[in-house]
Structure 1
């Protein structure tokens, strides 16, 4: 069968293998036919050789962690043949740590977790894959065109779950949220914010392309000025760019008792002249919280599946700016000129 693979740590080793082995039975009882995988910056960084880890005893790693497939067989009865399914990316570490032992693998404490298509588990960019029932998320049939958005949506669902848990420390009735960055994570964060009835503001530097209209279609406000120029004191900020200057600016922008959730990952190596004392003063005196969020556990995947099923399906479909057949895989992993939101590798074409 076909599989998109890399040699981890070797830049530009991406290739399409035509005779990749069928998925091993120990991967899981549920056999799935791949429909599509989404592509994100993590895939690009693995292709560039920055990280990635092949399964034990193997030299190559199958890419793909944003999955969508259709069940071929499930002897456990968890799902039925023909059901849409996505595979949860992270698996708990083998020890396990205190969090992994209670299925909070997104909060793994020792770093020995594994991840499909990223770390020590084969990904979903292959014609067929297997998954354990515990890590199989059934999808509403309405999500057939867009179900590969479930993985990024699960990240956002976790972010909102933790924002609301932190907010519960006091009498907290948030009204407004600022989301920085209008990529897939930012737009999905805006979607879940509108589903919560909040006044939503999205900041991005793009003035053309689909992003402004996608934000406005949610009933949200699109901004292109700097964070400091915004006439806004949000109750919540979801930071999705990882840009160091933006990260620091939103920490100062959030209102009293505010919560800043950082989902973007900075590359590091950049020094900024910044008044750390003033930031400390504001965080302390205004009871503000800044926290980071990454990955998701099972309940977040389920929450994301419900949120996507409730969303305007036409709007979700507009997030996918390119669908590329597997035979043209190299084009899928190349830049689309800067206006791409989500590129999808199509296994059905």
Structure 2
């Protein structure tokens, strides 16, 4: 069968190659691949910056934003042929650490976890794949066009979970949220903010293309002014930072309401330097009881929350997040960003 593979840490190795059929040792559900979302992590791996192949293998099957249909499922698994499913990305470490032992493998303490399509486990970028039934998530049939958005939605479901857990240390009644970045993570974070009944503001540098209208159609407000100006005027109760741009990160941290919570989901590049008044920033965080928290990955509870959020969302709005679809044999095109891109998807079932 065909799969999208790379040689980790080797640039220009991305290719559609023939690989063996997945064996039962990789999962008790046999799934026909439907589609695969492409994100920044995939592009980093394709550039040779990141990634690990499974032990004893030179190539890694890419893909962690999965969507498939069950072909075969064992009795008692809770799944049946035809079910629309997504595979969970991370697996607990084998020791396990205390967090992994309690199902919180997104918070692994010793780094010995593995990840499908990223770290020591083949991903979901193949015509067929297997997954353990306990690491598969069933989606509503109506999400067949957009189900690959589940994994990025889990990232923001976890971010919101972290915000709400931290807020609960004292009286917490947030009204205003600022989301920085209007890529898939930012737009999905805004969606979950709207679903919580909050006043949502989204900041991005572009002024045309689909992003402003997508934000408006959520009932949120779109901004393209400098981050300091927007955040300084809003003084939001919650900020979900989804750019990783250091100037935006600092602006978000420096401009919150009292008891403000900033959740960082964007990963910054190393070596970016910025001159800031660290004393003033520290003073504001301390005196206002502010919190800055990093958040990455997701556990099974976040997958369930994300599936629920997508099921409640406007389906046409979700479809508009997917701005390009390419067939598997032309998968390399998905790794060449275009100006109007939001989410690019590889069709695994196309001939």
Task: Please say whether Structure 1 and Structure 2 have the same fold, judged by a TM-score greater than 0.5.
Answer: yes
State how 1:302-317 maps to structure 2 within 5 Å.
302-317=304-319
The 3-state SS of whatever aligns with 2:208 is coil
State the match for 1:346 in structure 2: 347
CA deviations over 1:313-332 (Å, ceiling 9, x no partner): 00000000001011111112
The 3-state SS of whatever aligns with 2:98 is coil
Q: Is 1:53 aligned with 2:42?
A: no
The 3-state SS of whatever aligns with 1:309 is helix
- Are the counterparts in 1 of residues 63 and 123 from structure 2 also a CA contact under 8 Å? yes
Report the CA distance between 1:77 and its aligned residue. 3.1
CA deviations over 1:85-137 (Å, ceiling 9, x no partner): 00000000011010001110000001110000000000000011011111000
- Are the counterparts in 2 of residues 227 and 253 from structure 1 also a CA contact under 8 Å? no
Q: Is 1:177 aligned with 2:177?
A: yes
Report the CA distance between 1:68 and its aligned residue. 0.2
CA deviations over 1:224-258 (Å, ceiling 9, x no partner): 00122122110000000000111111111111001
State how 1:164-243 maps to structure 2 within 5 Å.
164-230=164-230, 231-243=233-245
Report the CA distance between 1:334 and its aligned residue. 1.4
State the match for 2:22 in structure 1: 23
The 3-state SS of whatever aligns with 1:52 is coil
Count of aligned residue pairs for this structure pair? 347
Deviation beyond 3 Å, 4+ runs, structure 1: none
TM, length-normalised to structure 2 = 0.98
- Are the counterparts in 1 of residues 323 and 343 from structure 2 also a CA contact under 8 Å? yes
State the match for 1:79 in structure 2: 79
The 3-state SS of whatever aligns with 1:343 is strand
Unaligned runs of 5+ in 1: none
State the match for 2:277 in structure 1: 275
State the match for 2:36 in structure 1: 37
TM, length-normalised to structure 1 = 0.99
- Determine the C-alpha separation between the residues in 2 that align with 1:73 and 1:340: 35
CA deviations over 1:62-102 (Å, ceiling 9, x no partner): 00000000000110432110000000000000110100011
Report the CA distance between 1:348 and its aligned residue. 2.1
